[in-house]
Structure 1
Amino acid sequence: MLCIKKPSVASSFEELIPKILTEGDLVETEFGERTKEIRNTIIEITNPKLKKVPEKYPLGEKAVEEYRKNLLYGSKNIFSYDYHERLFEYPYNEERINQIDYIIEKLNQQKNSRRAIAITWNPKIDIEVSKDERGSVPCLQFIEFLVRDNNLHMTVVFRSNDALLAYVANALGLISLGEYIAEKTNTQLKSYVHHSVSMHVYIDRDRDYIKKYFPEYLKYIE
């Protein structure tokens, strides 16, 4: 287990990657890819307003902005799932459920509620998709918001998280979602907690990125 408490996503990323490369377990995925993994990584961001993209993040600012827009407004691309749909238009029978509107309404009605949650996993869809080696199912599973002393506290849970290529975009995009909900509930986003059950780095697939941005840690994956 790894716990990191930092003011920003950028500063947490700078600690996260070296920790995984040096202390992570060597785990081969179900698709035969080697990773370094730390189970149950919990990262607390204490000043979510600090949204600088880390200089060592391989995909850069453009990828973060694209992820943010897709999360908040949806994408024209066709996937087996996307987070905007699962959060804003969750498929249930013939219905489409807007979980974000529910959260806003719930917090405006009952500030101390512990029921302001959203989920992404849809068993009807995702169990079947996960049987296909090429199928893609949500990594983000759960979001909860708490209002305490008129501050909004956001917690997210990922079943699996690519620390090197996905964590930064995931966290900054979700913080933008938290800021949207804060605006709609007349609160301030005070903290963001990011929990990944499997936080990992692909050490063969992304070796060139590791060599470029974290060269001093190559010796731990040779």
Structure 2
Amino acid sequence: MYCIKKPSVRASYEELVKEVLKNGEDMITEDGQKCREIRNTVIEITNPKLKSISPKYPLGKKAVEQYTNNLLYGSENVFSYDYHSRLFKYPVNNKEINQIDFIVEKLKEQQNSRRCVAITWQPNIDIEVSNKDHGSVPCLQFVQFLIRDNKLYQTVLFRSNDLAVAFVSNALGLIALGEMVAEKVGVDYGTYTHHSVSMHIYIDRDRDYIEKYFPESLKYLE
């Protein structure tokens, strides 16, 4: 387990890459790719308003903007799943439940609530996909909001997190979601806590990226 507290996503990202490469354990994924992972990584971002993007993040600002827009407002592209639909249009018994609207209204009514949660996993879809050789299921599983001292605190849980190419977009997009909720509820946004059960780097797939941006860590791959 690895826990860090940093003011920004940028600062946590640059430290996490080095930590996973140095102290992570190697594993082979279901589709045969080699990863180095740390199990149960918890990151607390203490000043989420700091949104600068690390120059070492290979996908850059446009990827963050697109991910955030798709998360908050949806995408016209067709995926096996998308987070906007799972959070804002979760299907149950031929109905669509807007989990974020529920959270906003619940927090307005009861600021001490611990029931302001949203989930993404749909067993009727995701178990079937998981039993196939190919197909994607949600990495983000759970989002919870608490209000304490008139501030909104956000915690998310990922079952699996691709650190090199996904974490930065994931975290900044979800912070934007938290800021949206805080604004609608009428409170300040506090901290963002990101829990990844498997925080990993694809060390063969992303070796060129590691060599370019983190050359000092290449020695840990020998």
TM-score range, shorter chain: over 0.9
Deviation at 1:125, TM superposition (A): 0.6
Amino acid aligned to 1:112: N
Secondary structure, in 3 states, of the residue corresponding to 2:204?
coil
Return 5+ residue gaps in structure 2 as ranges. Answer: none
Q: What is the correspondence of 1:65-76 to structure 2 with a 5 Å cutoff?
A: 65-76=65-76
Q: Distance in 1 between matches of 2:67 and 2:221?
A: 29
Deviation at 1:134, TM superposition (A): 1.5
- C-alpha RMSD of matched pairs (Å): 0.6
Q: What is the correspondence of 1:23-172 to structure 2 with a 5 Å cutoff?
A: 23-172=23-172
Deviation at 1:93, TM superposition (A): 2.3
- Which residue of structure 2 lines up, in the alignment, with residue 4 of structure 1? 4
- Which residue of structure 2 lines up, in the alignment, with residue 179 of structure 1? 179
Give runs of ≥4 in structure 1 deviating > 4 Å: none
Deviation at 1:218, TM superposition (A): 1.1
Deviation at 1:189, TM superposition (A): 1.0
Amino acid aligned to 2:25: D
Return 5+ residue gaps in structure 1 as ranges. Answer: none
Q: Distance in 2 between matches of 1:63 and 1:116?
A: 29
Amino acid aligned to 1:58: P
Secondary structure, in 3 states, of the residue corresponding to 1:15?
helix
1:62-108 C-alpha deviation (Å, 9 max, x unpaired)? 00000000000001110010000000000112111100000000000
Deviation at 1:133, TM superposition (A): 2.0
Deviation at 1:7, TM superposition (A): 0.3
1:142-175 C-alpha deviation (Å, 9 max, x unpaired)? 0000000110000000000001100000000000
Amino acid aligned to 2:80: S
Aligned residue pairs, count: 222
Deviation at 1:14, TM superposition (A): 1.1
Secondary structure, in 3 states, of the residue corresponding to 2:47?
coil
Secondary structure, in 3 states, of the residue corresponding to 1:153?
strand
Q: Distance in 1 between matches of 2:112 and 2:53?
A: 33
Deviation at 1:131, TM superposition (A): 1.2
**TM-score, L = length of structure 2:** 0.99
Q: Distance in 1 between matches of 2:32 and 2:221?
A: 16
Amino acid aligned to 2:203: I
Amino acid aligned to 1:200: H
Secondary structure, in 3 states, of the residue corresponding to 1:193?
strand
Quick check: 63-72 or 211-220, which moved more? 211-220
Secondary structure, in 3 states, of the residue corresponding to 2:36?
strand
- Which residue of structure 2 lines up, in the alignment, with residue 200 of structure 1? 200
